[in-house]
A = this chain, B = another copy of it.
Amino acid sequence: MSALQNPKAPANLRAVDSLTVALGSRSYPIHIGPGLLRDPALYPSDAKQILIVSNEVVAPLYLQTVRAALGDRDVQTIILPDGERVKTLATFATILDRLVDARFHRDCCLLALGGGVVGDVTGYAAASFQRGVDFVQIPTTLLAQVDSSVGGKTAVNHPRAKNMIGAFHQPIAVLADTDALKSLPPRELAAGLAEVIKYGVIVDPDFFAWLERAMPKLRALDPDALAHAIRRSCEIKAGIVAEDEREQGKRALLNLGHTFGHALESLGNYERWLHGEAVALGIVLAARTSAAIGWIGAADCERLEALLESAGLPIAAEGVDPDRVLERMQLDKKADRRGLKLILIERLGRAVVVPAPERAVLKAVLAAASG
């Protein structure tokens, strides 16, 4: 986890809890804590042209704070509608139009101020404008702070498949301001906790056990508990990304629950479930599939479901057609000509990537969870 700081990353002039995503010359800091948005020292100091991309929910809360911290630079803003539906090539094109119209140069910087949708589409625009310019992630949801803002995956959705068009493009810094979570609706907080729980399940049994104890504090927005959960989540993700930036191997573990989850999200038209809720359902399905093939026992399966439920997450997908879920899963990026792969659970704290079990097993698991 140690590495040279990216020379273009902002100087850090006060005590902020920071960790580094170690990727050689593309290493960057993740700053975690309260009050970060208003700290001028945390923003890139050398970019004179800045485009802030945010949305109609987040901008009224935080845009002025960010603008004030940026001082008198050439700052453009784009305010998108809220929701997954703006994560399209059309929005991507809108961002690029603005960059061209405002005559932005290669040494500009984009700031993504919002949740995962804003971060993903802004990051992909930064990856593509002039074949790649700087960007900073300023995640304002728990889900974005612990997952999508870290690791450099950027994308937009294709009308028929999620995250199908994108790039690997690392930010130059991530500002995870815990104060931003105070304005987060409880349902979105829970959605972020699904990814936090995921980290415990895939690699860290102690963190999983800590989450079982700390869940009431987390749901009550206890600042110390939140900061620990975010930091440990980012540490685990940063460590995995540093080992396997382009998902040739270990990084796939981060997709626990996502193959099932993406299929459910898509069948629900990205409206029925939030992404984190779909991931929670996906984790339940992965756990039950693991139990069905004799990996984890029923007790661990129940313990995991209890933790997800205590976080305010769904653990059953009523009324879903198992065949339609399986059909969507075949289109998942984890499928190749050798067939679909899944991340399954050997024990709480250890997940592995394996070829999917036979269709009948998956169908039975889906039928039980949708009945």
Once A89-B89, A131-B153, A131-B155 are accepted as A-B contacts, the answer to whether A165 and B335 lie under 8 Å apart by CB is no
Q: Does A167 contact B (CB under 8 A)?
A: yes
The 6 A-B pairs at the shortest CB distance, nearest first, are namely: A105-B336, A107-B336, A131-B166, A130-B333, A128-B165, A100-B158
Q: Which B residue sits closest to A166, measured CB to CB? A: B131
Distance of A107 Cα from B337 Cα, bound (Å): 7
Once A96-B158, A100-B158 are accepted as A-B contacts, the answer to whether A129 and B164 lie under 8 Å apart by CB is yes
Contact B106 A336 (CB under 8 A): yes
Q: Does A93 contact B (CB under 8 A)?
A: yes
For A96, the chain B residues whose CB sits under 8 A away are: 158, 164-165
For A161, the chain B residues whose CB sits under 8 A away are: 100
Q: Does A62 contact B (CB under 8 A)?
A: no
Instruction: Looking at the assembled complex, report how far the CB atom of A340 sits from the nearest CB atom of chain B, in whole angstroms.
Output: 10
Contact B167 A131 (CB under 8 A): yes
Contact A130 B164 (CB under 8 A): yes
Q: Which B residue sits closest to A99, measured CB to CB? A: B164
Instruction: Looking at the assembled complex, report how far the CB atom of A162 sits from the nearest CB atom of chain B, in whole angstroms.
Output: 11
- The binding surface of chain A is classed by DSSP as mixed
Distance of A246 Cα from B132 Cα, bound (Å): 9
Known pairs A101-B160, A128-B128, A130-B164; list 10 more (Cβ under 8 Å): A97-B158, A105-B335, A105-B337, A127-B167, A128-B167, A131-B153, A131-B167, A132-B167, A132-B168, A132-B246
Which of A's residues lie within 8 Å of B, judged by CB? 48-49, 89, 93, 96-97, 100-101, 103, 105-107, 127-132, 153-155, 158, 160-161, 164-168, 246, 330-331, 333, 335-337
Once A48-B337, A89-B89, A96-B158 are accepted as A-B contacts, the answer to whether A330 and B103 lie under 8 Å apart by CB is yes
For A167, the chain B residues whose CB sits under 8 A away are: 127-128, 131-132, 167
For A132, the chain B residues whose CB sits under 8 A away are: 167-168, 246
For A335, the chain B residues whose CB sits under 8 A away are: 105
For A97, the chain B residues whose CB sits under 8 A away are: 158
Distance of A164 Cα from B104 Cα, bound (Å): 11
For A129, the chain B residues whose CB sits under 8 A away are: 164-165
27 contacts between A and B (CB under 8 A): A48-B337, A49-B337, A89-B89, A89-B93, A96-B158, A96-B164, A97-B158, A100-B161, A100-B164, A100-B331, A101-B160, A103-B330, A105-B335, A107-B337, A127-B167, A128-B128, A128-B165, A128-B166, A128-B167, A129-B164, A129-B165, A130-B166, A130-B333, A131-B154, A131-B168, A131-B246, A132-B167
For A128, the chain B residues whose CB sits under 8 A away are: 128, 165-167
For A336, the chain B residues whose CB sits under 8 A away are: 105-107
Distance of A153 Cα from B132 Cα, bound (Å): 11
Distance of A93 Cα from B49 Cα, bound (Å): 29
Instruction: Looking at the assembled complex, report how far the CB atom of A343 sits from the nearest CB atom of chain B, in whole angstroms.
Output: 16
Contact A333 B127 (CB under 8 A): no
Distance of A164 Cα from B125 Cα, bound (Å): 11
For A89, the chain B residues whose CB sits under 8 A away are: 89, 93
Contact B103 A331 (CB under 8 A): yes
